[in-house]
Amino acid sequence: MPFVLKIGSRPSALALAQAELMCARLSELLPGLRSEIVAISTSGDRMKSASLAQVGGKGLFVKELEQALADGRADIAVHSMKDLPAALGPAYRIAAVPAREDARDAIISRRGVGVREMPRGARLGTSSMRRRFMALRLNAGLEVVALRGNVDTRLSKVESGELDAIVVAVAGLKRLGRADRVPMRLIDESDFIPAAAQGALAIEALADRKAGGSAEIEAALSRLDDPRARAETAAERAFLATIGASCVTPVGVKATLDEHLLSIRAILFSLDGRRELFDETSVTHARGASESGASALGAKLGNQMLSRGAGELLADE
C-alpha cells in the first residue's frame, strides 16, 4: 500500500483550512505525495461556552493532537502557533514554521468604524483579555463582552445586532476567504500589539524521528520553513517563557525581522487591567536572524520587564 502522510488537525473550519493549505504546499514540494487530513477533536473544541483560562488554557487545543502523533494516528500536526504552550514537551518539536500571515488584529463593526470611533456604550465582543484591555486603552467607553465560537459564529453576532463589533485575527479571516467579504478595519500594531505567534502556523512532529519516517518529507518541511517567521516566533515564545506567562496572562508581544534588525516590543497588563508595562529592544540582523539569537533577544526583553516589575503584574494570576 502506498504511503499516505497523515496530517493531524483540529476539526474547526479554520483549522481544516490551515491543514489543507499545508497539504497543498507539501504536495507542491513533493509532487505525487499522498496525504490525508485526520480531524481530531480536542478538549478545547468540545468546550463551547467556558472560558479557556478557567478550564486549562492553550493546552486544551494541543494535547489530543500530540497524543495522535505519539500513537501513530498522525505523522505531523498543523497548529495555529499561538495555541501552543511557550515550551513543548521533550517528545515533540516544531518541524516547520511556514511564512507568517498578517499578524494584526482587525475590528469588524456594524458601522464600519475603528475602535476609537465607536460610541460610548457600544458592545465589543472578545474573550481575549489582551484585546479587552487594549480596546479600553483606545476607548474607555466601550462595553466589552465575552465571546467564544468559530469565526462565522462571531461574525453572526455583529450581523444580528447582538454586538456592535468584534475583534478578530486578520490571519484567520484571510485563510477562510472572509477578508474581502466583511467590513474589516485593520488595527495598527502600535495600538494593538498582537498575541505571541499570531498569524503563524506550526507543524509539529515527534522529536526522536523523521516526520512520517521519511527523509524526503523531512526535507520538504525544511524547505517549507520560513527563516523570518521562525526567528520572529522564537523571540516571542522565548519572551513568554522568560516572564512565565500563562494562558490567562494579558500580554501582547511582536517581533519583526527586517534586513537590518530583529526588534521586539511587548505590553503586559495586570489581570484587572489597571496596570500595564511596555518595553522593547532590538539586535542586529546578523545576531537575531538565527533561532537561537532570536530566542536570546526574547529572553532579554523578558528579563528587562521582570526587572521593571513584570513579576508584580503576574503575581495576581
The Cα 4–Cα 20 span in angstroms is: 15
The residue type of 160 is S
The residue type of 195 is A
Q: How big is the CA angle at 178 (ends 111 and 257), to the nearest 5 degrees?
A: 100
Task: Check 45, 71, 83, 225 and give the catalytic one.
Answer: 83
The tally of CA atoms less than 13 A away on the side-chain side of residue 234 is 23
Q: Which residue, among 109, 285, 74, has the nearest Cα to 185 in the 3D structure?
A: 109
The residue type of 312 is E
Q: Count of H helices and E strands in the chain?
A: 12, 13
Sequence-ordered list of residues with C-beta below 8 angstroms from that of 215, at least 6 positions apart, any chain: none
The cell 494541543 sits on which residue?
62
The three grid cell numbers given for residue 237, joined into one nine-digit string: 515564545
The Cα 285–Cα 277 span in angstroms is: 26
Q: How far is CA 93 from CA 90, 111, 132, 141, 202, in A?
A: 8, 44, 32, 44, 10
List the strands of the sheet with 261-269, edge to edge.
251-257, 261-269, 276-284
Give yes or no: 83 in active site.
Answer: yes
The catalytic residue positions are 83
